[in-house]
Structure 1
Amino acid sequence: MADKITDEMIEYVGILAKLQLSEFEKEKAKNDMNQMLSYIDKLKELDTRNVEPMSHIFPVTNVFREDKVENENQKDAILLNAPKKKSGCFQVPKTID
């Protein structure tokens, strides 16, 4: 698969990415993409028949925890920070006429 990237492909990718590449940049991109394909060819040599497909590198099981109320009913302590309060609530200036 390596060395399959053509000048036309680089030109097409540049158009799709809306890039204006110089000749030097096109050649560099072509070499970089060929190196990536060479690496993929190298990976294809690995025997993965007994490797189970996975979505995470670590086994993920029930990452949820049970909800526990820890700071219940701190209304009075919170209202101590209010510059103004009315009927047990923060009093704020009216914003709509």
Structure 2
Amino acid sequence: MAVDDKMVARVAGLARLTLSAQEVPHLTAELNNILGWIDQLQAVETGDVQPMATVMPITRDWRADVVTDGAIQSDVLANAPEARHGFFAVPKVIE
């Protein structure tokens, strides 16, 4: 598919871009080059190529999923105005 000056001007208008008359031929040539590269890529036979997520294999070392209490109860309660029995002490709001 070839792009002409009229199509570039129309797409620029749809994109709310203001192009000067000198910019249109340059952009037409650039877009035609890009479309040429896409045609070259489409000509490549990729039927036997397996899909991949990355170019290089990535392995991650995962830590053990262990539930803990964080071992920082005393540090957290040190910030509280008042603490009782290992918990935040708050005023009673329900009678």
TM-score by length of 1: 0.62
Q: C-alpha offsets along residues 2-49 of structure 1, whole Å, 9 cap, x if unaligned?
A: xx1011211121122111111222222211111101111221232212
Q: Which runs of 5+ in 2 are unaligned?
A: 91-95
Q: Distance in 2 between matches of 1:24 and 1:66?
A: 62
| Matching residue within 17, 24, 27 for 1:26 | 24
Aligned-partner Cα distance in 1 for 2:13–2:89: 57
Q: CA RMSD in A?
A: 3.1
How far off its partner does 1:71 sit? 6.0
Which letter does structure 1 place at the counterpart of 2:25? E
Unaligned runs of 5+ in 1: 92-97
Partner residue of 1:57 out of 49, 54, 58 = 54
Give the fraction of aligned pairs with identical amino acids, expressed as a percent. Answer: 30
* Normalised TM-score (structure 2): 0.63
Deviation string, structure 1 residues 42-83 (Cα, Å, up to 9, x no partner)? 2123221211344x225689xx87633456241212333x2x
> 1:37 is matched with which residue?
35
Rg larger for: 2
Matched length = 84
Q: Is the contact between residue 79 and residue 90 of structure 1 (CA under 8 Å) also seen in structure 2?
A: no
- Which segments of structure 1 move beyond 3 Å, counting only runs of 4 or more? 58-61, 64-67, 88-91
1:6 to 4, 29, 50: 4
State the structure with bigger RCO (CA 8 A, min sep 6), 1 or 2.
1
